[in-house]
Structure 1
Amino acid sequence: MMNPFLWFNENNGGTYLLTVVTISSIVCFVLGFITQNHSQVDKLWSLLPPIYCLIVVLSSPLQPRLLLMNALAWMWGIRLSYNFARKDGYTWSGEDYRWPILRKKINNRFLFELFNLTFISIFQNILLLFIACPIYYIASHRTAPLNSWDLVCTLAFLFLFIIEVTADQQQWNFHGDKKANKPWTKDGFLQQGLFRYSRHPNFFSEICLWWVFYAFTFSVQPFSYINWTILGTLSLTLLINGSTTFTEAITSEKYPKYKQYQKTTSRLIPWLPSKKVH
């Protein structure tokens, strides 16, 4: 099987990309091992893809499409970083609530650190590189000039970005009211706004947003729907789906009414509420 890292070369910043992902993987593992806070990659999640995009732009001949994609990536990253920061995600003790639960389930330091090395630190860092790789792929190939397809992708990206921003803000407002013990939050989880149509509208928009980012590669000539950078988008889709399953298992144990919510509301794709199981 071909080594995927052979797709990178010294042109268009390939060497720099591989250097950053290697250093990041090592640092995340070491910090997680020492501090037992395994959200080190989480702290970099919104930062690394824009940085990778910027590396490609600075290492490549000037192309309007690269500048456009870089701008979209930075818009996404800055907004997500803000959302993460206001939840104290960047504090030294800030850790995703799911990691302690998973550590308890595994209940073996060696096995969890092996998981930390292979999945949390290495796989997730490679994933963050690969979801940004459509811009590298475009920089490395002959492409058509900016056209109507770029406009379609940009508008779709912005639309999904707005959905994600709205969902995160609604969730932020809910948790603020929940801390204040407001009656409408008594069930313990959000069921209004976008969450009336999807249990995870922010996850849905995040997945679709990166599929749109991948779709920019359709400008490469000769045209093809499939190229190696799809691995990043596919992996992200699988990761978010797996993470959603784990998250919902925790939530349904904590809040009795969540199981009914699961029966009436679509898991990811926004849809009208019903009494059928999705």
Structure 2
Amino acid sequence: MSRRSNLKNAVVAFLVPLPSILFYLYFLSHFQSNCAPLWSWCFHHPLLLANVFFFFNVNVLFWLIGFIQSSNWMIDLYWMVIPVLLLHYYATHPLAQFDPWRSMIVTVLTWVWSIRLAHSYFRREEWQWGAREDWRFADMRLQYGKHWWWISFFSVYVSQQILLIGICLPLYVVHSVDKPLNIWDFVAAGVCLCGIVIGYLADTQLHNFVIRNTKLKELGKPMVPNLDRGLWRYSRHPNYFGEQLWWWGMTVFSWNLGHGWTCVGCLINSMCLAYVTFLVEQRMLKQEYRAEAYRLYQKTTSVWVPWFKSSAIAVKDKVT
């Protein structure tokens, strides 16, 4: 990827959320002195307004940029940014009411999660902006051909609105209920921290494995077919497990505030990730050099939740 393209994509990524941010800042400075129906609607319906921002600024604008660039790379990047934007939107909305300590804990955790995910994303992409789009979108582009331009609007963007707004509902609840901090908030924070740490360790171990295999390939040596060390010894997808822990931890915050219904968003996300897990494993099995090793890995290793190897692998270890 050329330096010029990299810089262009970086500038686009920084500028693209400005329509929503500028409109919201204008709303905050004018809603009290203006009785227009638009400002009244924005004032009384913060959750609906968040969906409007998402629809026009992400679904429509991101889709147009993706259509022009023939790549839907930006939605992956903004998966780690949109929750932070929503967090501060919910916290600063005129109708917000919340315990300041809980808000501070959730804010710090969300920023740490976002920075951790951004680091893993750019490390994987070799610190480039928009070098490639998600392989699932690339596969669908080939599958749908000439119809992809309009199908992508729904499959890439509208679906992301349902997922992201849904799993971020706890951020809304935290800033709409003023209840004193209690022990469950610390439990939720602990679960979130565990998710962040597990996700970071798993992604780092995977990154090191990929780098090592790349060097072996360059030297003309056989690549290691499968990563089964560290956290990956006890789970086939510990990075996914860490991510789920993070979101379920956030759900505990809202459950503690009397809004357990928000688990629906996290549940839908978990179901989608289960399908992604299936696609990833099918992709692994299509690679001849690793197919046999990965089938054994599937038989002996837990899918998400870290657990001990089965007896079959224990016997194999003793033999070797």
TM-score by length of 1: 0.85
Structure 2 residue aligned with 1:76, among 76, 101, 113? 113
For residue 185 of structure 1, report the CA deviation from its aligned partner. 7.9
For residue 29 of structure 1, report the CA deviation from its aligned partner. 1.5
Matched, 1:167 2:202: yes
For residue 72 of structure 1, report the CA deviation from its aligned partner. 1.0
For 2:134, the equivalent position in structure 1 comes to 96
Is the CA contact (8 Å cut-off) linking 1:204 and 1:268 kept in structure 2? Answer: yes
Is the CA contact (8 Å cut-off) linking 1:12 and 1:57 kept in structure 2? Answer: no
1:45-79 Cα shifts (integer Å, max 9, x gaps): 11101110111112224632122112211110111
CA distance in 2, matches of 1:185, 1:28: 41
For residue 136 of structure 1, report the CA deviation from its aligned partner. 0.9
Greater Cα offset, 62-71 or 206-215? 62-71
1:30-53 Cα shifts (integer Å, max 9, x gaps): 122222212321111111011101
Is the CA contact (8 Å cut-off) linking 1:199 and 1:268 kept in structure 2? Answer: yes
For 1:108, the equivalent position in structure 2 comes to 145
CA distance in 2, matches of 1:18, 1:67: 24
For 2:79, the equivalent position in structure 1 comes to 45
The answer for unaligned runs of 5 or more in structure 1 is 1-7
**Percent sequence identity over aligned pairs:** 27
For 2:122, the equivalent position in structure 1 comes to 85
For 1:4, the equivalent position in structure 2 comes to none
Matched, 1:240 2:278: no
For 2:164, the equivalent position in structure 1 comes to 128
For residue 122 of structure 1, report the CA deviation from its aligned partner. 1.0
Q: Structure 1 residues 251, 61: closer, same or farther in 2, change over 3 A?
A: same
What is the one-letter code of the residue matched to 2:59?
S
Matched, 1:201 2:238: yes
CA distance in 2, matches of 1:118, 1:181: 40
| Counterpart secondary structure, 2:216 | coil
For 1:253, the equivalent position in structure 2 comes to 286
CA distance in 2, matches of 1:61, 1:137: 10
1:120-142 Cα shifts (integer Å, max 9, x gaps): 1111133212211112123223x
Q: Structure 1 residues 107, 129: closer, same or farther in 2, change over 3 A?
A: closer
CA distance in 2, matches of 1:115, 1:264: 39
CA distance in 2, matches of 1:20, 1:70: 21
Is the CA contact (8 Å cut-off) linking 1:177 and 1:185 kept in structure 2? Answer: no
CA distance in 1, matches of 2:48, 2:136: 34
For 1:57, the equivalent position in structure 2 comes to 91
Q: CA RMSD in A?
A: 2.5
CA distance in 1, matches of 2:271, 2:175: 27
Q: Once superposed, which parts of structure 1, at least 4 consecutive aligned residues long, lie more than 6 Å away?
A: 182-185
CA distance in 1, matches of 2:124, 2:264: 30
For 2:310, the equivalent position in structure 1 comes to 274
For residue 159 of structure 1, report the CA deviation from its aligned partner. 1.5
Where is the helix percentage greater, Structure 1 or Structure 2? 2
What is the one-letter code of the residue matched to 1:174?
F
Within-5 A mapping of 1:19-34: 19-22=52-55, 23-34=57-68
For 1:118, the equivalent position in structure 2 comes to 154
CA distance in 1, matches of 2:191, 2:180: 19
Is the CA contact (8 Å cut-off) linking 2:74 and 2:130 kept in structure 1? Answer: no
| Counterpart secondary structure, 2:114 | helix
| Counterpart secondary structure, 2:224 | coil
For 2:185, the equivalent position in structure 1 comes to 150
Q: Structure 1 residues 275, 252: closer, same or farther in 2, change over 3 A?
A: farther
| Counterpart secondary structure, 1:199 | coil
Equivalenced residue count is 263
Q: Which has the larger radius of gyration?
A: 2
What is the one-letter code of the residue matched to 1:231?
V
For 2:176, the equivalent position in structure 1 comes to 140
